[in-house]
Amino acid sequence: MGCIMSKCRNCNVQIRDNTDVCPLCHCVLEQDGKGKDTYPDIRFMTRRLLLVCRILLFGIILSGVLLFTINYENYHGTWWCAIVIAALLYLYLILRFAVVDNAGYKAKIIVLTVCGVLFVVLVDFVTGYGGWSVNYVIPGGILLVDVGIVVLMIVNMRNWQSYLLFQIFMILCSLLPVIFWRFDIVTSPVMSLIALGVSSFLFLGTMIIGDRRARIELKRRFHVR
């Protein structure tokens, strides 16, 4: 550990001795901090970000009430305030969940992607529902996450097997648009089938190429002996 130094502002000199007063003018010394192992105050920064989040949330609530009142008083067939409020809430979610919270990046990717897709679906419904959100945006979001998984596996080559559960989750997600197609919610199933195929083949390819390490990882995750 380095030597703790003090400084006399009156004499403008640094004192190395273990004393609280200047030997020249006898004024109280201030610690200089040089030679001392110091680290950034992460807790202070986190508190500041949390304060910003609370201020932002309060502003969103006030803005939401104001926008709803304006939309209600000037309603012409579209609840446009829902889009604006949802966009502000998504901004808050990005700041609160992606920046401040200590959740893993996998959870952040899933939550932000799902909320982003839901926001687009809301826009589709508010603007008259043309079906483009469920036909293209939902499977497009699934494909985007699949691409992200591949990139993360390449970047983190030494721990690629940890993304197997992530892949299984994406297969389950890609089944939803296909189920919607069976109930006539999805009218153009091409993108949905592509998303299901890509998610499934990504998992299959990982299992085949990963071989023993992939099987061990699945057994460990599902507590199978």
pLDDT per position as a tens digit, 115-133? 888 999 999 999 988 889 9
Report the pLDDT value the prediction gives residue 99, as an integer from 0 to 100: 67
The torsion angles phi and psi of 190, rounded to 5 degrees, stand at -60, -50
Rg (the chain; Cα; Å): 28
One domain, residues 61 and 150: no
Among 103, 206, 198, smallest CA distance to 157 is for 206
Q: Based on the domain organization, do 51 and 33 belong to the same domain?
A: no
Across the beta sheet with 13-15, the strand order is: 13-15, 6-8, 30-31
Maximum Cα–Cα distance across the chain: 88
- Give pLDDT < 50 ranges for the chain: 1-2, 35-39
Closest CA to 79 of 125, 35, 148: 125
The answer to whether 85 touches 91, Cβ cutoff 8 Å, is no
| Same domain, residue pair 135 and 225 | yes
pTM above 0.85, yes or no: no
Same domain, 111 and 216: yes
Q: Give yes or no: residues 149 and 53 share one domain.
A: no
State whether 220 and 140 are in the same domain: yes
Q: Are residues 121 and 205 in the same domain?
A: yes
Residues 33 and 47 occupy one common structural domain: no
Domains identified in the chain, total number: 3
Residues 67 and 137 in one domain: no
Q: What is the pLDDT of residue 132?
A: 92
Which pLDDT score, from 0 to 100, does residue 95 have?
83
Per-residue pLDDT at 139: 93
Structural domain of 1: 1-38
Residue with tokens 């109930």: 183
Same domain assignment for residues 203 and 225: yes
- Co-location of 16 and 56 in the same domain: no
pLDDT value for 37: 47
Query: What residues contact residue 16 under an 8 Å CB cut-off, 6+ apart?
Result: 3, 5
Same domain for 70 and 96, yes or no, is yes
Distance between CA atoms of 200 and 204, rounded to whole angstroms? 6
